Amino acid sequence: MIVVAVVGPTATGKSDLALDLAEALGTPESGTAGSGTAETRPAEIVNADAFQLYRGMDVGTAKVPPAERRGITHHQLDVLDPSQDASVARYQESGRADLDAIAGRGARAVVVGGSGLYVRALLDAMDFPGTDPEIRARLEARAEAEGRRALHAELSGLDPQAATSIGPHNTRRIVRALEVIEITGRPYTANLPRQEYVRPAVQIGLDCSREVLDARVASRVDRMWEAGLVDEVRSLASPEQGGTGAGLGVTAVRAVGYAEVLAWWRGETTEAEAREAITANTRRLARKQMGWFGRDPRVHWLDAAAPDLLDAALAIVADADADALPLAGTEPVRRSLGS
């Protein structure tokens, strides 16, 4: 059964559409065929938002509350403590196990999220080279002693494509690229994901005009603030970070909404400036997500504000199920409204 993925920028309504699709794409329960009943097994949702993996990070990530999940089973939510670092490789392993289990139950899987790398890791051919603490420590020490530009120049000689993609300012990714090259003996780009599904899948992208998206982002930030975002950050952050909890780890502390509140508590901004920064950074994140998914020709784009959105999405799924649409992305699709 084809996996359905709902992707696109933040604040476009992906979670709502995923819930609607999960209800509409139910499969007949075993033993009901010919019984005259209409009992169905709802589809199951698999989260592909990196920050919704964290327990307690609810308001700031727009996580659907349990009471609003319509009884639909959700996977890959609340599986990490905020102090833990997220791992795409670990997510790939556990997320694919969820897809296998869902298929084994005869149910449909609906993947939803805006973390492009996580979607690719779940659906596409993507290998994760191991790590070597000694190599990484040596490279990090060199970055400190020689400067990141020196390491970036080295990367340019070994893998020009990777160097161009990463740029000279991202020390963490430069170090990782050089680590992978040393471990595998191959260019870093040779390990990047290919646009090749590991199981039948179809991606539905939600987009809208920039003006509409900006308004949606502003409204979302207002709702988060009123719903207690500041209290949520306080309950998760460590005393050193200005809160009362166990602390936000290296990954969680970078989440939009959380990072800005912490900056306010450190005295770097005012409350009003923190709130404005969350809105601006959320808009920036939406642009980045659109750029990521917009480069994938396999995504079928729909207008997030269309009144017939569910019907249009179901039509795409039906075509994919009937093998009427190419899943390899060999034909052009409609340009996104925000492009």
- Specify the pLDDT at position 339: 39
- Specify the pLDDT at position 193: 73
* 3-class secondary-structure state, position 75: strand
- Specify the pLDDT at position 333: 44
Cβ–Cβ < 8 Å for 5, 202: yes
* 3-class secondary-structure state, position 233: helix
**Phi then psi for 80, rounded to 5 degrees?**
-130, 150
Question: What long-range pairs does 216-220 form, CB within 8 A, spacing at least 24?
Answer: 216/11, 216/12, 217/10, 217/11, 217/279, 217/282, 217/283, 217/286, 218/279, 220/10, 220/11, 220/62, 220/282
Would you give the end-to-end CA distance of the chain in angstroms? 32
- Specify the pLDDT at position 37: 52
Domain positions in the chain:
3-126+195-209+291-321, 133-191, 211-288
- Specify the pLDDT at position 335: 41
User: If we measure between CA atoms, which residue out of 48, 63, 61 comes closest to residue 119?
Assistant: 48
Measure the CA–CA gap between 166 and 152, rounded to whole angstroms.
9
For 137, residues 6+ apart whose C-beta sits below 8 A from its C-beta are none
For domain 133-191, which architecture applies? Orthogonal Bundle (1.10)
Extract the annotated binding site for ATP.
8-15
Q: pTM (2 decimals)?
A: 0.83
Pair of tokens at residue 337: 């409204």
| Topology given in CATH for the domain delimited by 3-126+195-209+291-321 | Rossmann fold (3.40.50)
Taking the chain (339 residues) in runs of 10, the rounded mean pLDDT of each run is 97 98 86 57 95 98 97 98 94 98 96 96 90 94 96 97 94 95 92 87 96 97 97 97 95 96 97 98 97 96 97 97 57 43
| Topology given in CATH for the domain delimited by 211-288 | Helix Hairpins (1.10.287)
User: If we measure between CA atoms, which residue out of 189, 192, 127 comes closest to residue 156?
Assistant: 189
Extract the annotated binding site for substrate.
10-15
- Specify the pLDDT at position 106: 94
Extract the annotated binding site.
8-15
